[in-house]
Amino acid sequence: MARIGVVVFPGSNCEYDAANAVSALGADTAFVWHSESDLSGFDGIILPGGFAHGDYLRPGALARFSPVMTAVQRFAESGGPVLGICNGFQVLTEAGLLPGALQKNRGLTFLCQPSTLIVTSTRSVLTRSATVGQRLAVPINHFSGSYTCDDTIYDELVANDQIVVRYDENPNGSRDNIAGVSNAAGNVVGLMPHPERAMSTLLGSADGRVLLGSFLGLGAESLA
Amino acid sequence: MTSTLNGVNYTVIVDVTLRSGIADPEGATIERALPALGFSGISAVRAGKSFRMSVEADSPASALEKATSLAQRLLSNPVIEDAAARIVEE
Q: Express as a percent the part of chain A with pLDDT over 90.
A: 96
Measured CB to CB, residues of chain A less than 8 Å from chain B are 57-58, 61, 65, 93-94, 99-101, 103-108, 146, 148-150, 153, 173
Q: What is the pTM of this model?
A: 0.93
**How many Cβ pairs within 8 Å bridge chains A and B?**
39
Q: Note the Cα A119 to chain centre separation in Å.
A: 14
Using the predicted structure, report yes or no on whether residue A221 has a pLDDT greater than 80: no
- Residues A5-23: pLDDT tens digits? 999 999 999 999 999 999 9
- Which chain A residues have a beta carbon less than 8 Å from that of B75? 57
Using the predicted structure, report yes or no on whether residue A223 has a pLDDT greater than 90: no
Domains along chain B with CATH numbers: 2-22+48-88 (3.30.1280.10)
pLDDT, position B90:
74
Report the distance separating Cα B48 and Cα B23, nearest Å.
12
- Residues B6-34: pLDDT tens digits? 678 999 999 999 998 888 999 999 999 99
Q: Which amino acid is at A60?
A: G
Report the distance separating Cα A2 and Cα A20, nearest Å.
14
* ipTM of the modeled complex: 0.83
Residues facing B3 on adjacent strands: B8
Q: Does B77 touch chain A (CB under 8 A)?
A: yes
Using the predicted structure, report yes or no on whether residue A224 has a pLDDT greater than 70: no
Domains along chain A with CATH numbers: 3-223 (3.40.50.880)
pLDDT, position B6:
65
Q: Which residues contact B68 (CB under 8 A, 6 or more apart)?
A: B14, B83, B85
The residue of A65, A103, A106 whose CB has the most chain B CBs within 10 angstroms, and thus the best one to mutate to test that interface, is A103
Nearest to A142 by CA among A173, A168, A97, A120: A173
Query: Using alpha carbons only, what angle is made at residue A189 by residues A164 and A171, rounded to the nearest 5 degrees?
Result: 55
